[in-house]
Structure formats: C-alpha cells, structure tokens
Structure 1
Amino acid sequence: MLLSKSCVYGLRASLYLASRAEQEYTSIREISEELEISFHFLTKILQQLTADSLMESYKGPNGGIRLSEKGKKATLLDVVIAIDGPGLFTQCALGLPGCGSSAPCPLHDSWLTVRESIKEMLERTDLKHLAREGRANKFRITADGSFAWQ
C-alpha cells in the first residue's frame, strides 16, 4: 500500500466530514463508530489534520470536529501531505538513498511517471467534490459497505 493506514483513515474521515452540513461539528466517537476506526487512533489522526489547519475542533457537550475554511477547499493531496508528508512524491520506490536521474534505481523512470500521475490525481480531487460524487453514486467508505452518505 502506498499510503499509511493513518493516511487512509484520515482520507475517509475527511470525506465523512465533507459530506456533513457545513457548520456542523461531529463527535469523533460518531466518526469512529461509523467508519469502524479505533477512537484513539482516529483522534491522533484528526489532531494531525487540525494541526495542519484542515480541521477545527470544539470542546464541550456539543463539541466535535469539522472541516475548517481551509479544509473545505482541501484536495486529497492536502490530506495526504498533512498525514504522510511529501515523501511518496520524492522518495525512491525501493528506498535507496540518492536515487535520481544521475544514479537511478531499476524502477526510477517507471516510478517517476506513476508517482506524478498519483500526485496529479490527488491534487485535482477535492474533498467536497468527492463527497458529492459519493452521495450521488452511493460509494462506500466502510469495510462492510454499510455507510450511507448523509
């Protein structure tokens, strides 16, 4: 898998929030239960997204988390970089240090093309658009397919 488990869960949680009402805070417990993600693991992931200003949290009985203004305009690439960093788009596929055009690994040219395609796809896909598409096409974001778009 190219993305870490944290990143995949962060993308799913971001899509879940993008499908919600604009100003509505959603409890992390609800997201955890709906997406079948460990509450504590999800909390750490959402803290990363909050630290990167893609989300904002509110404490208290009606508290929770929601997309920030920046998050409402975020692309999948923004979420990936906030959680996994830019390494996917800069590092050697085989993990060799110094891999580049002057000292390429056996996968260098192929991986360069693939990673640029992946980066472009993530960059042109925003959360709000994908949430709308998910609703329209009844896409699933849980393992068992039980998630119904709001």
Structure 2
Amino acid sequence: MFSKACEYAIKAAIYIAGQSNRQHTVNVKEVSLSIDAPMAFTAKILQLLCRKGVLKSVRGKQGGFFFEESRQKLLNIYDLVKIVDGDGIFTKCGLGLHRCSSENPCPVHNDFKIVRDQLIVTTQAHSFYDLALKTEKGEVWLKN
C-alpha cells in the first residue's frame, strides 16, 4: 500500500520513539537491524525525517537519533505518509484519472472514496507515542 521507504520510515519512527522514551539514542545500524531494512536506505530515511523535523540527531560517540516525546504525541502515520510518499494515496483517483471528482466520477470513485476516507481515519488514529507504547508492552511488533 505504502512505498517501501514509507513502510521503513513508519517502523523506524515507532522503534526510535520507544527507545527515546527509555532515554536511548539509536544509531542507523541499530535501527536498520531492528526494522529489518537495508542500512543505507535506513540512513536516507532517517536523514529525511530529521530534515522534516520529525526526528532529531546528536553527533558524537554517544550520539544517534531520537524522537522527542512532545513530537511523538503530535505526529501519526498520516503525517509520515505525507512526508515520505505525499498525500496522493489519500486524494488521488483509484484509476489514476486526473479529472475524477464527485461531479465527474470514475467508475470506482465512490468505492475508492470509502477506502480513502477509512485510510485517513486509520492512519490518524494513533500517535507515535501510543504506537511505541504498544510495541514496548509487547502488544504489537515491528519485525516478522
């Protein structure tokens, strides 16, 4: 559904949120191993999330990435999808038509509108803080 970059970004954000809540910064290698993603690809994703103000990083021996609790409580999957993949999955026509709308619907417009609306609700339902807590409690997991 989401791009691989977006999937990795979501998993990385959840993992880093959990570690940050335990006062740990994490390096790229630790994140990539924890979310089962290639290290170079993970590094690019983490750099993007830092540039967009989702994560912060600290240089040096004790450095790494962290996710401030206040940001965790504000951001959700919807926000990350928009940063990494854009908002097309929430707004574009299911058949890729440029002029599809309620006034000029494609053959699947009404069905896709239901799916898009539910996807928005689902991706906005939980903050990264909530998702990290569920992961830390063992209620959910990030790796297969």
CA contact (8 A) 1:54 1:70 kept: no
- Specify the code of the residue in structure 1 equivalent to 2:99: G
Q: Distance in 2 between matches of 1:66 and 1:21?
A: 5
1:21 deviation in Å?
Answer: 3.6
1:69 deviation in Å?
Answer: 5.4
Structure 1 pair 136–70 and aligned structure 2 pair: CA distance change class (3 A)? closer
1:147 alignment partner in structure 2: none
CA contact (8 A) 2:90 2:117 kept: yes
CA contact (8 A) 1:53 1:68 kept: no
Aligned length: 142
**TM-score relative to the length of structure 1:** 0.86
The question of 1:39 aligning with 2:73 is answered no
1:33 deviation in Å?
Answer: 1.5
CA contact (8 A) 1:54 1:71 kept: yes
RMSD after superposition:
1.6
Where does structure 2 lack aligned partners over 5 or more consecutive residues?
Answer: none
Point out 4+ residue stretches in structure 1 off by more than 6 angstroms: none
Q: Distance in 2 between matches of 1:26 and 1:17?
A: 7
1:49 alignment partner in structure 2: 49
1:7 alignment partner in structure 2: 6
* Alignment deviations for residues 7-48 of structure 1 (CA, whole Å, 9 cap, x no partner): 111110011011114343111111112222111101111122
**TM-score relative to the length of structure 2:** 0.90
Where does structure 1 lack aligned partners over 5 or more consecutive residues?
Answer: 144-150
- Specify the code of the residue in structure 2 equivalent to 1:111: F
1:137 deviation in Å?
Answer: 4.0
CA contact (8 A) 2:93 2:109 kept: yes
Secondary structure of 2:13's match? helix
